[in-house]
């Protein structure tokens, strides 16, 4: 998105800090524009605006990945690991921006503007002291379903679908946890510093693990779709892409499994120390 496109020029790889800042800016502007023009559906429109605003940067990242692997002979593992990290930076920029928005609005306005996100949020607790994430098997089943959905949507809608999924997940998690934090403070269960510390330390580990896994799912969908279009099914290039994607799926499943174990135990154990 302009003017961040200018900051990427002349760089071998886009800066992760600039990508983070761009995602933060695009999200903030998207919320404002959606609220002004489409107040009744601002939450959904914001997600679509983010997917549009980050399209050019995502295309740049994919081109850098292609160049690294096919021209510079960087190993697929290294090139794809950097690409995943870049897209996680985008996710975190969106997440932080949504968190700031959630803290700045009144509770009533927050639920009105982002009604869709709250309706579909997996977190329905009243405050943090009553928060429960579920069992490892339940979490893993849900997360694998989201993983497969990310892969399918990205295969069909490419970068637009991938960004839509990332922005949606960032909005749901940021808004849900911020609302729960504010409710906890309002009930007098904990102070603002204690609540913020509990949330940040409690959710960051599994949040990053799951975000990385969903990024991987999105990339696999895009890579496979591009390979089907570009190469013969029996060509060495197509088989190379398939092997790389199978490795990525394996890494994604490992991240989801680790994330489910962490999510079932760490957040509630940590947060209970404050209440």
Contact indicator for 43, 115 with CB cutoff of 8 Å: yes
Whole-angstrom distance, CA of residue 142 vs CA of residue 121: 13
Domain boundaries, the chain: 4-274
Q: What is the pLDDT of residues 56-103, one digit of tens each?
A: 999 999 999 999 998 888 888 899 999 999 999 999 999 999 999 988
Whole-angstrom distance, CA of residue 209 vs CA of residue 135: 17
pLDDT on residue 3 = 67
Q: What is the pLDDT of residues 25-50, one digit of tens each?
A: 999 999 999 989 988 888 899 999 99
Whole-angstrom distance, CA of residue 181 vs CA of residue 213: 26
Q: Which residues contact 240 (CB under 8 A, 6 or more apart)?
A: 76
Whole-angstrom distance, CA of residue 270 vs CA of residue 126: 18
Question: In 3D, which of 58, 69, 57 has the Cα closest to residue 244?
Answer: 69
Phi, psi of 167 (to 5 degrees): -65, -40
C-alpha dihedral, 152 to 52 to 97 to 264, nearest 10°: 0
Contact indicator for 274, 194 with CB cutoff of 8 Å: yes
- 79: enclosing H helix or E strand: helix 76-104
């Amino acid at each position: 998105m302009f003017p961040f496109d200018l900051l990427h020029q002349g760089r071998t790889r886009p800066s992760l800090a600039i990508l983070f800042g761009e995602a933060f800016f695009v999200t903030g502007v998207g919320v404002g524009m959606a609220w002004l023009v489409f107040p009744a559906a601002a939450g959904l429109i914001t997600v679509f605006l983010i997917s549009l605003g980050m399209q050019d940067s995502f295309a740049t990242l994919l081109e850098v990945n292609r160049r690294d692997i096919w021209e510079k002979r960087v190993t697929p593992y290294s090139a794809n690991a950097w690409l995943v990290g870049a897209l996680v930076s985008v996710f975190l920029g969106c997440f932080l921006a949504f968190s700031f928005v959630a803290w700045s609005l009144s509770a009533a306005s927050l639920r009105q503007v982002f009604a869709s996100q709250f309706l579909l949020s997996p977190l329905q607790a009243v405050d943090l002291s009553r928060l429960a994430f579920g069992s490892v098997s339940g979490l893993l089943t849900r997360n694998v379903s989201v993983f497969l959905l990310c892969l399918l949507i990205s295969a069909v809608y490419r970068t637009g679908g991938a960004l839509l999924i990332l922005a949606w997940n960032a909005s749901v998690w940021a808004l849900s946890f911020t609302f729960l934090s504010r409710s906890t403070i309002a009930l007098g269960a904990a102070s603002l510093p204690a609540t913020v510390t509990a949330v940040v330390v409690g959710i960051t580990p599994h949040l990053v693990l799951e975000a990385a896994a969903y990024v991987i799912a999105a990339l696999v969908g895009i890579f496979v779709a591009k390979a089907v279009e570009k190469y013969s099914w029996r060509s060495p290039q197509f088989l190379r892409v398939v092997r790389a994607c199978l490795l990525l799926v394996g890494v994604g499943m490992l991240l989801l499994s680790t994330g489910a174990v962490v999510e079932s135990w760490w957040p509630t154990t940590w947060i209970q120390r404050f209440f």
